[in-house]
Amino acid sequence: MKLIDRLNNREAQIGILGLGYVGLPLMLRFSEVGYPVLGLDIDAAKVEALMAGRSYIEHIRAEAIGQALEQGFSATTDFSRARACDALILCVPTPLNQYREPDLSYVINTTEAIVPHLRAGQVVSLESTTWPGTTEEVLKPRLESTGLKVGEDVFLVFSPEREDPGNPTFTTRSIPKVLGGVTPACTRVGQALYGQVIDEVVTLSSTRAAEMTKLLENIHRAVNIGLVNELKIVCDRMGIDIHEVIRAAATKPFGFTPYYPGPGLGGHCIPIDPFYLTWKAREYGLNTRFIELAGEVNAAMPEWVVGKVADALNERGKAIKGSRILVLGIAYKKNVDDRRESPSMILMERLEAKGAAISYSDPHVPRFLPMRKHDFDLASVPLTPETLAATDCVLLATDHDRFDYELIKAHAPLIVDTRGRYREPAAHIVRA
């Protein structure tokens, strides 16, 4: 097949649709091995930054963007240029709406933007996490509305992203790539697409199996985090340190995997993806009670943390209203700048609604840029003995390694620790 030959020979033009935390690393990998790559995004600011050799994601260096430009990479908002691409890879968000139902608007809008420019001999790959059946039920009819036949004229696959920002151990190349095609021919083309840039491609029998695989991965994490979050509350009531218990249990060399509690779930996957399956399961008359219960536990964590802050202040003769609360870390996990679905956002809003004067410190997020759901007119506060001493409460929400924890401990009058960073008990440290 001519398309497979072009992919195997690295002659195929690769189009990446969506240049965020998933699309940008993938673009760099394809460019690194010599493919000509075109990035397409509706955000003109992102396109402008990339064409100027700038990165807007902390862990991606500007030098890497510059090297991609030298290799022939270009970015555009002109989706008509999709016609020149042999492969079109969709890396767009799949959030939930206000009713916790799947919002496929980004996937649908992106697909409809390229449909007028499709031609025979192209492969389309969806990487966005979604419910089983999306590729065949949502994308396939739109592609075939052009008169092109999937599996013969154009090829359609689902291959979920597995990026882990900030993890130095695993890269785009080294993380195995799950892949399912609409037809066996689609799978073969998909394998050729990713086989040159990913060390291991794991092919499945269908797009639905690949879609379910991604959901299982994230549901597994969500459920286990929900379990330890619930146990955290039980241990707190019993006067037991849950982190000590987890560390001890993790010494068992078999049958146990450690998961850690926190102030809630964050990121673009774990808080969202399980609800894609619960929504789809209703179509089959099923209730995913286990998954939904874990979701309820995790969603309740920010409110529980706010209660711990209120209790800690109350013991010191203060109320949340009027208290100066410094939130440490507003990214969803440590050592990254990604704020998507971060529980810190909810904590800040809840505390501000109760009358607290909120500030934050995060070395990875120097200024709070508006988000779809959240907005604060704030900049990161430098951590000094003076700024720490001026607070009523320091709320450790995300435990970045770049924080000076001894400095914080020495000068903050009250620390509410949601991450178990402080192992030794102290009168002014409260675990949450």
186 tagged catalytic: no
Cα–Cα distance for residue pair 171/16, rounded to 1 Å = 18
Cα–Cα distance for residue pair 203/180, rounded to 1 Å = 6
DSSP 60-81: S-HHHHHHHHHTT-EEES-GGG
Radius of gyration of the chain (CA): 23
Which residues, 6+ apart, have CB-to-CB distance to 59 below 8 Å? 165, 166, 336, 337
Tokens 């807007």 belong to: 56
Cα–Cα distance for residue pair 212/217, rounded to 1 Å = 9
**Residues 278 and 222: beta-carbon distance below 8 Å:** no
- Tell me which DSSP letter residue 283 carries: G
User: Going edge to edge, which strands form the sheet with 37-40?
Assistant: 74-76, 37-40, 14-17, 87-90, 122-126, 154-158, 177-181, 201-203
DSSP 401-418: TTS-HHHHHHH-S-EEES
List the catalytic residue out of 85, 186, 269, 393: 269
Cα–Cα distance for residue pair 41/56, rounded to 1 Å = 14
Catalytic residues: 269
